[in-house]
Chains A and B, each alone.
Chain A
Amino acid sequence: MATKKTSFRGLGAKFLDGAEPLIRILIYASGWSAIIFVAAIFYFIFQEAWPILPRVNWGDFFFTNDWVPVPAEGNEATYGAKSMMYGTFAVTIFSMIIAVPLGLGAAIYISEFATGKVKETFKILIELLAAIPSIVWGFIGLVVLNPIIQSVFGVPVGVNLLNGSIVVAFMAVPLIVSISEDALRAVPDSYREAALALGASKWEIVYRVLFPAAKNGLLAACMLGVGRAVGETMAVLMATGNGMVIPENFANPAILLDKVRTLTATIVSELPDSVHGGDHYRMLFVIGIVLLIFSVVINVTSDIIVKGIKGDQKNA
């Protein structure tokens, strides 16, 4: 792949070389842009939510159920987001119950057991799985899984917590697989060879050597999966039924067949109806702040778990 374009004499090349100071400034500015974008996201979301922030009753926001943005005449609007927090929490937990074992299993298979063509094929398929857009998953939940769940469980409506969790699990899995696989690959081969020399089987290597050695990376993979599940929007909107319900008995497996509503789905479904600049509109931005802070905390923490506090980028 050697390049033939090494002539420094062309007019274009002279111009490009002369522009070096300008280009350096552009490159530095672009390099810092990621920080600017993150700061801008914080700034603009806080800007929209700002007027209501001092008036938010955080106790009510986190611990009461009544989300009544447009109350009946004479009543005051109340903003209790507990039922949405429950929705987000439930979808995240159930999707992780599906996604983590499948994801870790697939990552171990791809990284340790599969070889050659099989390995390549699996990696490509997982990559394609990751590329399926959120809205298509929502469509699958609404149009394909919905009737299946209706007939299997004999319920009138098949868009519910179970449906949403399955969809979100499949969305989060490619991320879990690829990051776990990176973590497993980062374990030096000498560890595997040492264990083999001691007479360990491949499976013993996996759970006695690789799990302890790669535990930080695997933990980070699961955390990023959680971050993905919490932030998922269109798919959960379409697949969970988008109804605010808090079950009375959490131990009852029937809660899986109830509708739920997540924080993200609330923003999507209510923003078009809210009056711009009104309290309701600003409260939706407050929910946005909660999601934003949560996602940044998850990402920074998992980054630190993988790379350590000092940040050894070269091994990342």
Chain B
Amino acid sequence: MERRKVLVEGIAKKVMLVAALCLIVPVLAIIAYIFYKASPVLGLDYLWGVPEGGGTGGGIWPPLIGTFFLVLVSLCICAPIGIMAGIYLNEYAPDNWFTRIINMAVTSLAGVPSIVHALFGVGAFVLTFGMGESLLAASCTIAVMTIPVLITSTREALSAVPMAFRQACWNMGATKWQTIRTIVLPNSISGILTGVILEVSRAAGETAPILFTGAAASIPFMADSLGDKLMPYFLGDKFMALSYHLKVVADKLNDVPEAMKYGTAAVLIGLIFILNSFSIVLRMYLRSRKKW
């Protein structure tokens, strides 16, 4: 009887391990394969170059810098709102039905399909607010889409600060805002930063929401001066983005050399992994330093 039990347990454990490995191993293999296929083009020339012949040659600088601006503008919009919303939910919100509805709204917002966010962006920012298809409209759409990431991680970071810290501060006569500003925020800033990095990584990879709100398959790119190269898009312009560029080279152009396609994918994956690893390292460092 006992032996059967041990046997069953051993089999169960192996099956679970296989399930976990089935998720990880193929994906790592595919990503390694993508990087291997991309290796002929990966290099500074590729990152810094301008696409030639409709994406069949050259580099990916315009989409890369476009993604950078998209992320930057969307972060400027959603970081203040998201962080303050996190502060509200953890510090100010009373425990009642209204807060419950806010929490449900946050989870619902996180679960709304990206294409519905795209339709919202078209209806609200592009048409009603008259932004047209532009960097600003796309950034607003991305900001609304990624704000739950920031709200959730800010709330978690703040709730990790022990209540006793706040009580000690209140006992010194500090107001609620003084307590938040001087005690709660400095003690949770790395956690909030983790959320910001995750938002950036999410914003950099999204495609559907920017398709109809401002991303362009190809834009004539002036690369005469360094200034033009570093600051090619303004808020009202259409722009190129890495994620959309990947779609364009992957499926529209049959004559794109293979390495160019894999190169774009590799750069996007690399970017996302670097950002996420950064947030993971930050979190581990934070955990190791925690004194309470």
Contacts and interface: CB of A to CB of B under 8 A. Distances in A.
Interface in A273-310: 284-285, 288, 291-292, 295-296, 298-300, 303
A258 interface: no
Interface stretch (A208-216, A247-255, A263-271): A263-271
A32 B178 contact: no
Contacts of B106: 34
Contacts of B15: 105
B11 to A, nearest CB: 8
Q: How would you classify the secondary structure of chain A's contact residues: helix, strand, loop or mixed?
A: helix
A47 to B, nearest CB: 6
Contact of B119 (A103, A114, A129, A285): A285
Contacts of B207: 133-135, 233-234
A1 interface: yes
Contacts of A153: none
User: Size class of A's contact patch?
Assistant: 35 or more
A138 to B, nearest CB: 7
Interface in B63-122: 80-85, 87-89, 92-93, 95, 97, 99-120, 122
A178 to B, nearest CB: 12
B142 interface: no
- Residue from the set A228, A267, A272 with the largest chain B CB neighbour count within 10 Å: A267
Interface stretch (A65-73, A119-127, A187-195): A119-127
B206 A34 contact: no
Contacts of A20: 175, 177-178
B80 A30 contact: yes
B187 interface: yes
B92 A292 contact: no
A265 to B, nearest CB: 9
Contact of A268 (B102, B123, B208): B208
A63 interface: no
Interface in B1-47: 5-6, 8-9, 12-13, 15-20, 22-24, 27-28, 30, 33-34
Nearest to A29: B84
Interface of B: 5-6, 8-9, 12-13, 15-20, 22-24, 27-28, 30, 33-34, 80-85, 87-89, 92-93, 95, 97, 99-120, 122-124, 127-128, 144, 147-148, 151, 175, 177-178, 181-183, 186-187, 201-202, 204-208, 211-212, 243-244, 246-247, 250-251, 261-262, 265, 268-269, 272-273, 275-277, 280, 289-291
11 contacts: A3-B186, A30-B85, A41-B120, A45-B120, A104-B19, A105-B16, A125-B24, A129-B23, A202-B12, A204-B5, A291-B113
